[in-house]
Structure 1
């Protein structure tokens, strides 16, 4: 267990790892991050990204974690360098009656039904809200800078076992994402392939998300200089290479929904494997004389859960 000023080792430099490291460093802990890839090459860098409700298990905890993240992201939106801003978000899909709204949906600020004329072409029912959008490349740089200002350090290093990690520090926080399938011997983790097409921003400031259970849907997230368009999900695909046919379908759907995007140039096609798990794992366990805190399995909700999970993981690490 942690003794006095012993360092805390965080494994992973995606949004979960960096946020947890920031929480620990700003609380006065000596923090070192080990990561196989720099932040800009992690799965998090490929995210859209938008704060939104999470329906993952454990439901009561994900509700709490999402609510905490909303508080943090709204505060971050006041910092221009963070890459976070609050925007109008239109969502296509039937909206439950007010008395039937699940608690996750009741978290959404300024939620209201909207008229069909407010929605993109091809969608007839939906809602409007104001929600935080996160420009992930800028945001990851911001988190890294905030970590360094708090005295934390990051080191490019592959970790093969948790035993190896505990030799470096008596307290280890495992934010390795899909890597936890091997590192924590967790076979319940599976990859879910996701892909976005990044366009220049032609002046778009309203985000859009289609609610759908289909493997492909329409969504776009405008940031200061770019628009991130999606979406696609392919469970249990291990190849993270971008799919050119899927990219073309994403472009066609988004440009049909928002004609402004017809004048936007394609900047990049980005893809990654989301770490999906039946239950988000935030818990501590003993490994020999060391404590290991796990914070992984967030699926496509890593950003939305990030601050809530990080704060709890940090508390477990110093307990």
Structure 2
């Protein structure tokens, strides 16, 4: 991993979602230090936004641990990244796991989320692990810049989709299943320039806590992960070249993290042997920021 005080080359992507294959450097989704041990053998996992960034690393580690993986992506914008991730997962999967699938969808709408769940269930019969991870964000200097259309767009992607996917997936989940929601350090410390994004991430924390209480009697655990500054396509697609260059330098470790430094948190929360007594909680891989929550 990069040393303290690291800076990234100046770069900017003009559209969201961002593209991992054009980033410099490419985010690290794997590590030779990670040693799989069949923690998710036989499980069926659905990972939204699984084509790149944290989602790609989660898909890779889940496959290494024995899971069959389905991922979602945005058609036309993330085709190349989705193809790359499918190949990564195919190369990583264990012999008894089925080949991964990638499903294109705009997850901000209920009917699309139902189609995704139906496609996964038609292919694999059930869902054991649901990772709600897809997100988008835009900078603003004042709340006056956030109009109704933008607010609705961000909320549809970042929190509506979590509700929609969960309510459809639950029909195909049983006792021992796990739901993991991606929130953010911004939900705990705030972020003046990502106001609408930060609001959705706070909603995800509350959603995680409430849903965990609702599903505890069904034996389904619900937890979250709140990453700090992580080098993913969302960064050059969201920020100016100057901010990208210094991204991550504000945390105690003085550097951004890479997806492989976050993805093991999802493995931990997905594995009943490791986290069977944990629900309604959030893990904080954030470079040393103390959030007390």
Give the TM-score normalised by structure 2: 0.29
Tell me which structure has the larger Cα radius of gyration.
1
Give the TM-score normalised by structure 1: 0.27
